[in-house]
């Protein structure tokens, strides 16, 4: 492992904090971009034209929200199509701040201009790796669906509980396999940052890491995923049990703050895993 990866504990924590803030800022910006067409569609419906603005949509009973869906269906349909397109574009563009964050975690002392130029050079490789991972995950989900369909005739005469639980277990296993593909993808991205090799070589390097240390790779990633899920569930519980009643400014502010804290908490766990992925990749050199 490179000596550059052995700074003090405080330096590593500050670098991780900077990476978290970088990813969070871009996540917020891309989220606002995706939500903007929906906001325009809601304004075009006229439901929020009153003195209370969009607070009426958060009142108990959701009657005006249902009215919005009835009146603004054409605008909302167009807005959702635009939002989906922007979401796909944002998912691609988010690879740039991800490359910046990995480069920051790997070599903290690099100038920002050099770091940005390097992220642009790494972008095609990151995009190719993401495409390969998406194809692999789609193949896993398709195989899971086919396996569930194949088991249905076999289990037709068995216990109903087994018929209900087996598809859930198989889909759960398929989802865990998809997460494993994502873990290998992150190690491949780390290898790309460390050596600026081609996507094929980086993926081969990541597969070698997985073959030699499967427990370290998976057990390092799954806690980070669980930590992010815990943050979102905690925010949902907070808004359900502690949010003020009604559509007041306090309740809306609390909802926004809880959501952003959950996003930041999940990103912190994500950065923890990215740092570990860099170490796992470096150990194989």
Q: Please list the rounded mean pLDDT of every run of 10 residues in the chain (285 residues).
A: 54 85 93 89 74 65 72 83 94 94 87 88 94 94 88 72 80 89 93 87 91 86 87 84 61 80 92 92 72
Residue 3: predicted pLDDT: 46
Cα angle 123, 124, 130 (rounded to 5 degrees) comes to 90
Backbone conformation region of residue 46, classed left if phi is above 0, alpha if psi is from -120 to 50, else beta:
left
CA 187 to chain centre: 16
Q: Tokens 């809880």 correspond to what residue?
A: 258
Contact 137, 163 (CB under 8 A): no
Interhelix angle 73-93/63-71, rounded to 10 degrees, is 90
Sign of CA dihedral 13, 14, 16, 21: positive
Residue 161: predicted pLDDT: 73
Spatial CB neighbours of 239, under 8 Å, sequence gap ≥ 6: 254, 255, 258
Reading the block at residue 247, the tokens are 């559509």
Report how far residue 106's alpha carbon sits from residue 2's, in angstroms, rounded to the nearest whole number.
Answer: 9
Half-sphere exposure of residue 56, counting CA atoms within 13 Å on the CB side?
16
Smallest CA-to-CA distance from 214 within 186, 180, 191 is with 180
Residue 149: predicted pLDDT: 84
Report how far residue 103's alpha carbon sits from residue 126's, in angstroms, rounded to the nearest whole number.
Answer: 13
Residue 1: predicted pLDDT: 45
Instruction: Give phi and psi for 2, each to the nearest 5.
Output: -65, 145
Q: Tokens 């929020």 correspond to what residue?
A: 48
Confidence (pTM):
0.83
Smallest CA-to-CA distance from 263 within 12, 18, 26, 10 is with 26
Residue 2: predicted pLDDT: 45
Spatial CB neighbours of 208, under 8 Å, sequence gap ≥ 6: 284
Terminal CA-to-CA distance of the chain, rounded, Å?
Answer: 7
Residue 126: predicted pLDDT: 95
Reading the block at residue 181, the tokens are 């593909």
Q: Tokens 């397109």 correspond to what residue?
A: 85
Reading the block at residue 77, the tokens are 């349909």
Helix, strand, coil fractions of the chain, as percent rounded to 5: 85, 0, 15
DSSP 158: S
């Amino acid at each position: 492992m490179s000596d550059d990866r052995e700074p003090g504990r405080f330096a590593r924590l500050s670098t991780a904090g900077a990476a978290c803030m970088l990813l969070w800022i871009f996540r917020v910006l891309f989220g606002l971009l995706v939500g903007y067409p929906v906001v325009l569609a809601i304004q075009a419906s006229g439901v929020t034209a009153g003195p209370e603005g969009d607070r009426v949509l958060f009142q108990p009973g959701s009657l005006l929200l249902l009215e919005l869906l009835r009146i603004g269906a054409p605008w909302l349909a167009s807005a959702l199509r635009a939002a989906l397109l922007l979401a796909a574009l944002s998912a691609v563009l988010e690879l740039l701040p991800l490359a910046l964050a990995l480069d920051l975690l790997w070599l903290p002392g690099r100038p920002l201009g050099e770091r940005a130029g390097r992220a642009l050079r790494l972008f095609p490789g990151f995009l190719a790796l993401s495409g390969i991972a998406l194809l692999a995950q789609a193949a896993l989900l398709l195989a899971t669906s086919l396996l569930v369909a194949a088991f249905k005739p076999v289990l037709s005469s068995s216990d109903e509980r087994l018929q209900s639980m087996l598809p859930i277990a198989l889909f759960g296993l398929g989802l865990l396999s998809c997460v494993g593909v994502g873990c290998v993808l992150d190690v491949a991205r780390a290898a790309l940052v460390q050596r600026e090799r081609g996507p094929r070589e980086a993926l081969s390097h990541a597969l070698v890491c997985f073959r030699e240390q499967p427990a370290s790779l998976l057990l390092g990633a799954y806690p980070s995923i669980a930590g992010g899920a815990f943050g979102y569930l905690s925010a949902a519980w907070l808004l359900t049990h502690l949010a003020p009643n009604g559509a007041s400014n306090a309740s809306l502010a609390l909802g926004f703050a809880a959501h952003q804290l959950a996003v930041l908490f999940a990103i912190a766990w994500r950065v923890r895993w990215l740092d570990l992925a860099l170490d796992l990749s470096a150990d194989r050199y």
